[in-house]
Amino acid sequence: MSSTGLFIYKNNEYNYEIIKSTVFIEEYGNASVYGIRAYNDDGSEYNIVEDISDDFDSVERLCRLMCSENVCPIHLVNIAEDFINDPHSI
């Protein structure tokens, strides 16, 4: 799956980038999904989840929250998993 960066939110330590990918769903065909790439400027801390939701606004809300709370990229996968299981948890 290849992804394209759409928006980047930054704080003093990390960059949080909303990315868009295309996935194939057998019943529907190609669908756009959104995820988050989190990293610091030197690339030593990096994580990515490409398929969080097909709802851009929800992923943007999650991305902004992670940026405002200065979440370390190592926690991205767990936070995304919690969000996928309960999108109203944030």
Domain positions in the chain are 3-84
| Burial grade of 18 (CB within 10 A; 0-12, 13-18, 19 or more) | buried
Q: How many CB atoms lie within 10 A of CB 75?
A: 13
Residue 15 bridge partners (DSSP): 10, 39
Can you read off the two tokens belonging to residue 56?
A: 């851009």
pLDDT value of residue 4 = 66
pLDDT value of residue 8 = 84
Q: State phi, psi for 81 to the nearest 5 degrees.
A: -60, -45
What is the value of pTM for the model shown?
0.86
pLDDT value of residue 63 = 95
- pLDDT, one tens digit for every residue, the chain (90 residues): 566 667 788 888 999 999 999 989 888 899 999 999 999 988 888 999 999 999 999 999 999 999 999 999 999 999 999 999 988 877
